[in-house]
Amino acid sequence: MWSVTTVNVNGIRAAHRRGGLTWLAEHPTTVLCLQEVRATHEQVHATLADSPLAHWQVAHVPAPELGRAGVAILTEQPPLAARTSVRQPLIDGQGRWVEVDVDSPFGVVTVVSVYVHSGEAETPRQEEKYRFLAGMDARLRTLHRRAQRTGGHVVVCGDLNIAHREVDLKNWRANRASAGFLPQERAWLDTWFERSWVDLGRRLGGPGPGPYTWWSWRGRGFDTDGGWRIDYVLATPGLAAHAQRIEIGRAASYAERWSDHAAVTAYFA
């Protein structure tokens, strides 16, 4: 089956030390989208060279600040095209957006790896998040129009740092005023879904609550499944029609975690 996996690795070098890259290699996928890579090009390639993913092709966009953000897409075969800049000033140059075009059994698929700002309510960080979401909205419009014109497909994968509905986080009542669950953030997801982007995590993951994809390192949130569903696979309708199942790579125990996020894999046939 053709598949795409997305995961916030919480630093690719730290993830590798904890066994994350080995875990990913042992759970095969066609396309692998990474967020919060937190490394230079040289560090990414050196880390991968020391891992079971050494032979994979890499499209990587680092953040301008060392040790922050960064996104990448890995493919076993060279992509048809890779775009590290999409001429959208609100998202370019931040280490938060990268695209590749790949061949698939369904035709050409544009794959996006995106890492949206975490934000912080009523601070400049939240305004920065809203600006990025506006830029993301503009790029999604462009990708959607192009897919309709060419008959291609798009899948947008990543850590959006937004829980869409109450079923997408366990402690929603306590987080109504928190970044990640603010009405203005959630409205962007409403807009995209109304435009026919399909949330495969919800479509294939059941009505909820959950399945969650992020749990804090602190406290007992992981043990009690006090998580958030903030990692998404969004697909254009034609590709979504081929989606068969979604899998959440939740660790068996706290001690076996290699990131504070779980990998999300969507399978298509």
Distances (CA, A) of 50 to 42, 59, 75, 175: 13, 18, 17, 40
pLDDT at 256 over 90: yes
Burial 74-94 (b: 16+ CB within 10 A, else e): bbeeebeebbbebebebbbeb
pTM exceeds 0.95, yes or no: yes
List 92, 101, 159, 199, catalytic entry: 159
Q: Strand locations in 76-161, DSSP E?
A: 81-83, 97-102, 109-115, 153-159
Q: What is the pLDDT of residue 66?
A: 87
Of 21, 4, 9, the residue nearest 214 (C-alpha)? 9
What is the per-residue pLDDT across 183-209, written as a single tens digit (0 to 9) for each? 999 999 999 999 999 999 999 999 999
For the chain, the straight-line distance linking the first and the last C-alpha, in angstroms and rounded, comes to 6
Segment 156-162 shows an average pLDDT of 98
Q: How confident is the model at residue 172 (pLDDT cuts 50, 70, 90)?
A: very high
Q: pLDDT per residue over 94-149, tens digit each?
A: 999 999 999 999 999 999 999 999 999 999 999 999 999 999 999 999 999 999 99
The pLDDT score that the predictor gives to residue 62 is 97
Residues 42-63: what's their mean pLDDT? Answer: 97
Closest CA to 111 of 262, 21, 258, 233: 233
> Quick one: what percent of the chain has pLDDT higher than 70?
100
> Residue 159 catalytic?
yes
Average pLDDT over every residue of 233-241: 98
CATH superfamily of 2-268: Endonuclease/exonuclease/phosphatase (3.60.10.10)
Can you give the residue ranges of every domain in the chain?
A: 2-268
